[in-house]
Structure 1
Amino acid sequence: MTVLYPTDTAGQPETIGLYQLDVARDAAPRAGSFPLVLVSHGTGSSGLVHRNLALDLVRRGYVVALPEHPHNNRGDDSWAHTPQNLQARPRHLQLTIDHLLADPRLGPVIRPEAVALIGHSLGGYSALALAGGRPVSVPRSSADGPPRSIPVPTADARVRAVVLLAPALPWFMAEGSLRGVQVPVLALVGGQDEHLPPGFIRHVLAGLPTASRLEYHVVENAGHFSFLSPFPAARVSPQFPPSQDPPGLGDRARFHREELYPTIAAFLGRFL
């Protein structure tokens, strides 16, 4: 897990995983009391694909955790498309919150009542499940009969807001699956998403109990992976779909800097 937080120590380029970030490794946290944001990555991915979003939020005064979901990440994807993965992912997020609040260095500067979850793709499922969603299996994840409830933690009262980026939501299609989500939700979806059509996402989110607590945006020229931080030039290739965008989007870095990050920050600022 990578954790980024405000500090008064000057940063310098550091290699973290496959990427270079301008950070002050192991520096003392800045004095204060900061909201906590967890970013849940998509299936078979890594928290570091959201590194630039994390850095932007840290500069705005948030502690940001980028957990790597065990057995469903780029190094070990052995639980992909399995029931245990759907059960475990929301619990990973809850355990991360517990761990950071108990951390002797970071715990004292985190506001325990001000936690937000951001989830991309399957990370969106994970965030909604911890925020009170009650998922139900679908044929791909249930090989032995009719749909059944997926056991996940009860709604975590520390979670005060959820941001969904091109979320994977088929497990919340059953009547009442989202009735327990009482926190505000921001959904940002790609109009050219090749995996999750925006109309389907909107249809599922209509199950939220209070329509006024949903802020829903379609980014017309964005694809499924347009919400990931831009990749280093050496990794940008048509053979690597996460690095690619629909032709109309233009520069992914500009989209993030001018549209994505300000929209997320404005939403979180209203509730944390």
Structure 2
Amino acid sequence: MSDFVGYCAAQVADADLNLTFPVAVFYPTDTASQPETIGLYQLDVARDAAPLAGPFPLVLLSHGTGSSGMVHRNLALDLARRGYVVALPEHPHNNRDDDSWAHTAQNLQARPRHLQLAIDHLLTDARLASVIRPNAVALIGHSLGSYTALALAGGRPTSVSRTPADGPPRLIPVPAADARVRALVLLAPAIPWFLAEGSLRGVQVPVLALAGEQDEHIPPGFIQHVLNGLPDANRLDYRLVANAGHFSFLSPFPAARVSPQFPPSQDPPGFDRARFHQQELYPAIADFLGRLLR
């Protein structure tokens, strides 16, 4: 599609909670890219360049708890080069700089709504609205981001009772299924909130799910068990990635940040994260989305 990737930043408002949150957006452009420092990373992009005419499908990537959209920067760049507008929201109060909503009911309610608000914003953004296909949206989620994607696509989550004092499971209020969403990609999905009978019945879109064989946080057998609750097994493409860990789906980190003291940079012994991303992960996602959104 294009060798060059444009980048711009947006601020999305949540009037109900009186807050705003940032969204990094990557898209095809014919303006030459150059090294730019974005957050903690240096990327080859054309800052605030005019996008190509499009129209292009829209992909949103929902990061895991306490993380950042930029941990999926290489996937975003790859998809933008293939002809997608790719948005990386930073979930408020559940990111690397402010994780004050971690493990709260408020966070589980807010996350799907913030994806929806980001879609609404981008479809009216003066820079991008004219080049986005409004009914060709895909959601990609890692870990808790997969919960977020399923909840916006028609999943009806319930609370997880860890002690008797928690009482019986209760419905978590989330938006109704967003009809603009046409496909989901789930990476190392954290989804125990969809164990209740029928909680995934409303998810009517195709799902590509990848689980790490050596995931140290979420057993792959549990992931497959939960996803068996989807209404149509023929619309689920479930793949077990040999020897991958929970964080193996994040973009490889710069050498200076790779350390056993920084678990997101670590993989099981013998796993080549860079090779997996370039040779398996990005082509699999591009093929899946290309069949559904083109």
Output the TM-score relative to the length of structure 2: 0.91
Q: How far is 1:141 from its partner?
A: 10
Is 1:231–2:289 an aligned residue pair?
no
**Residue of structure 2 in register with 1:84 after alignment:** 106
Which of the numbers 257, 263, 268 marks the counterpart of 2:278? 257
Q: How far is 1:248 from its partner?
A: 2.8
Residues 90 and 130, structure 1, Cα contact 8 Å, conserved in 2:
yes
Residues 81 and 141, structure 1, Cα contact 8 Å, conserved in 2:
no
Residues 90 and 126, structure 1, Cα contact 8 Å, conserved in 2:
yes
| CA pair 91-141 structure 1, distance change in 2 beyond 3 A | farther
Over aligned residue pairs, what C-alpha RMSD do you find? 1.1
* 1:17-67: CA deviation from partner (whole Å, max 9, x where unpaired): 000100000000111200000000000000000000000000000000000
Q: How far is 1:11 from its partner?
A: 0.2
**Residue of structure 2 in register with 1:19 after alignment:** 41
Q: How far is 1:139 from its partner?
A: 2.0
| CA pair 141-9 structure 1, distance change in 2 beyond 3 A | farther
In structure 1, list runs of 5 or more residues that go unmatched. Answer: none
Q: Tell me, what secondary structure is at the counterpart of 2:29? A: coil
**C-alpha separation in 2, matches of 1:67 and 1:141:** 33
Is 1:270–2:280 an aligned residue pair?
no
Which of the numbers 42, 45, 68 marks the counterpart of 1:46? 68
**Residue of structure 1 in register with 2:130 after alignment:** 108
Aligned positions of 1:152-163 closer than 5 A: 152-163=174-185
In structure 2, list runs of 5 or more residues that go unmatched. Answer: 1-22
| CA pair 147-117 structure 1, distance change in 2 beyond 3 A | same
Which of the numbers 194, 205, 214 marks the counterpart of 1:183? 205
Aligned-partner residue type, residue 206 of structure 1: N
Determine which structure has the larger strand proportion and give its number.
Answer: 2
Aligned residues: 271
**C-alpha separation in 2, matches of 1:39 and 1:139:** 28
**C-alpha separation in 2, matches of 1:144 and 1:209:** 29
Output the TM-score relative to the length of structure 1: 0.98
**Residue of structure 2 in register with 1:243 after alignment:** 265
Residues 83 and 141, structure 1, Cα contact 8 Å, conserved in 2:
no
Aligned-partner residue type, residue 11 of structure 1: S
Instruction: Show structure 1 runs of 4+ deviating over 4 A.
Output: 140-144
| CA pair 79-137 structure 1, distance change in 2 beyond 3 A | same
**C-alpha separation in 1, matches of 2:186 and 2:121:** 23
Residues 3 and 63, structure 1, Cα contact 8 Å, conserved in 2:
yes
Q: State the identity %.
A: 83
| CA pair 21-189 structure 1, distance change in 2 beyond 3 A | same
**Residue of structure 2 in register with 1:121 after alignment:** 143
Q: How far is 1:145 from its partner?
A: 2.1
Q: Tell me, what secondary structure is at the counterpart of 1:125? A: helix
**C-alpha separation in 1, matches of 2:164 and 2:31:** 50
Aligned-partner residue type, residue 283 of structure 2: P
Q: Tell me, what secondary structure is at the counterpart of 1:52? A: helix
**C-alpha separation in 1, matches of 2:230 and 2:166:** 29
Aligned-partner residue type, residue 162 of structure 1: L
Is 1:220–2:242 an aligned residue pair?
yes
**C-alpha separation in 2, matches of 1:143 and 1:261:** 44
Residues 83 and 142, structure 1, Cα contact 8 Å, conserved in 2:
no
